[in-house]
Amino acid sequence: MVNGFVPKTLQEALELRATRDLVPYAGGTDLMVENRENVSYLFLGKLPELRQITVDGEYVRIGAAVTFTEALASDLVPPLMKEAVSRIAAPAIRNAGTFGGNLGNGSAKADSVLIEFVADAKLRLVSVRGERLVDVDKFYLGRKKLDLASDELIAEVLLPKRGLENYYYEKVGGRNALAISRVSFAGVFAEQDGKITNIAAAFGAVADTVLRWKEVEQMLIGKTLAEARALKADYLKAYEAHMTLTRGRVSAEYRKAVCMNLLGEFLAKFGI
Amino acid sequence: MDAIKFILNGGEVAYEGAATDRLLDVLRDCFGCKSVKCGCKEGECGACSVLIDGRLINSCCVAMGAVEGASVLTLEGYRETERFAALSKAFSELSAVQCGFCIPGMVLAAESVLAKNPHPSEAEIREGLSGNLCRCTGYNAIVNAVNNAAKEANGLW
């Protein structure tokens, strides 16, 4: 085969990755649009080690070459992730597009990555040297810049099994199908004994990476709903102050207004 | 170098070119499958849809290395089937074809819907065809045609 390798095992893939200059290819739906010149692909889409969805005590583990269609058909994948994935493009793209590819493409518009940010997901990266776990927000160093060494591959997404039950998700696009996110938002809420234990909010498609400010979230952690309502104005002001958004297909001002509206709806849904 | 071997419309074929080449171009230019249309080359229009191992895929977004060992079905193969005859009849009866450019992709998307769900609701048909754009704005007739084909199918799917 010219300009490409189809390894049979993950080990073989890692050896090829370590010794040659190859572009990892999973579903192809972003790479083929990019259409890079003079590259060789490392075809990963059929590797059994990357094609499983499993669970352990703490995590749902989604293989990097699992397609969005396969995730939608799985009982193991949490509803929040399914909702986001169901809004990606259209059936033919979901049949090919993968979790690893969505991450590796490095875009802040990646709909599955937004959920990984709000859920505090981890990624398992593998190489011939071994493996490491990295928090998804640490994996993104900037626009199209990833903490991925030239010999590493993304093996799995580790999505926490618990705590994603109460959520608010919205994708704002130009149309229903085949829409790239203009602004996307995911919020996760949890309370115990009348006190807020989690109020994570992530914003997609509005800057170089998905955005999340844990220090602002901290303002409401440990508070009752009544206390949170009293702090709401300050909390929203803190978000406004942090939100330096970039211009994309739509203006930065529009993006900010939509982000704040969606944040408001998230709070309202959970009584704040 | 070994050629890339795959099944095209039921027959074994080999491609000697690069693994990075686009399936869409190879189907049209090397194998004469002109039913596969190039509308956008970025996975946004569905005109180049084919079935790969039974799954609807935009052939513009597939590099040849990814089809090694796979089975690719285009309309050139599908039109030999009874299922195609049922869809063709329904599309004709409802005048669902205007300029025709999107129709090969639409028909394969319809096959993909019906293969999974022989009795789809209108919403399920629309979801199944949602990646296939028709610039003649003929969606209603197309959806109705798929619906009619499903109703008259007599166990074809």
The answer to whether A1 contacts B133, with C-beta atoms less than 8 Å apart, is: no
The superfamily in CATH containing domain B4-77 is Beta-grasp domain (3.10.20.30)
B42-82 pLDDT per residue, tens: 999 999 999 999 999 999 999 999 999 999 999 999 999 99
- Name the strand (E) or helix (H) holding A23: strand A23-25
Same topology, domains B4-77 and B81-151? Answer is no
**What is the 3-class SS of A37-70, one letter each residue?**
CCCCEEECCCCHHHCCEEECCCEEEEECCCEHHH
The superfamily in CATH containing domain B81-151 is [2Fe-2S]-binding domain (1.10.150.120)
Tokens of B122: 């209108």
User: What per-residue confidence (pLDDT) applies to B154?
Assistant: 85
Query: With bands split at pLDDT 50, 70 and 90, how would you rate the model's confidence at B3?
Result: very high
pLDDT(B1) > 80: no
Q: What is the mean pLDDT of residues B88-100?
A: 96
User: What per-residue confidence (pLDDT) applies to B138?
Assistant: 80
Residues of chain B neighbouring A95 (CB-CB closer than 8 A): 55-57
The structure's pTM equals 0.96
| Mutation site for A-interface testing, chosen from B60, B61, B114, B129 by largest number of A Cβ within 10 Å | B61
Single out the residue of A209, A39, A146, A227 nearest to residue B20, CA to CA.
Answer: A39
Select the residue of A32, A93, A176 nearest B63 (Cβ to Cβ): A32
User: What per-residue confidence (pLDDT) applies to B114?
Assistant: 98
Whole-number Å distance between alpha carbons of A60 and A271: 29
Low-confidence ranges of chain A (pLDDT < 70): none
The answer to whether A69 contacts B43, with C-beta atoms less than 8 Å apart, is: no
CB atoms within 10 A of CB B144: 17
Q: Please give the CATH topology (third level) of the domain spanning A167-269.
A: Enolase-like; domain 1 (3.30.390)
Residues of chain A neighbouring B2 (CB-CB closer than 8 A): 1
The answer to whether A114 touches A171, Cβ cutoff 8 Å, is no
Check if A149 contacts B (Cβ < 8 Å).
no
User: What per-residue confidence (pLDDT) applies to A158?
Assistant: 98
Lowest-confidence pick of A204-218, A242-256, B21-35, B107-121: A242-256
Residue ranges of domains in chain B: 4-77, 81-151
B82-93 helix and B103-116 helix, angle to the nearest 10 degrees? 120
Residues of chain B neighbouring A39 (CB-CB closer than 8 A): 20
Residue ranges of domains in chain A: 4-160, 167-269
Distance from CA of A96 to the nearest CA of B (A): 7
| Neighbouring-strand partners of residue B15 | B4
Whole-number Å distance between alpha carbons of A240 and B14: 58
User: What per-residue confidence (pLDDT) applies to A174?
Assistant: 85
Chain B, nearest residue to A23 by Cα: B20
A113-148 pLDDT per residue, tens: 999 999 999 999 999 999 999 999 999 999 999 999
CATH class of A4-160: alpha beta
Tokens of A258: 């939509």
Whole-number Å distance between alpha carbons of B146 and B121: 10
3-class DSSP assignment, residue B102: coil
pLDDT(B118) > 80: yes
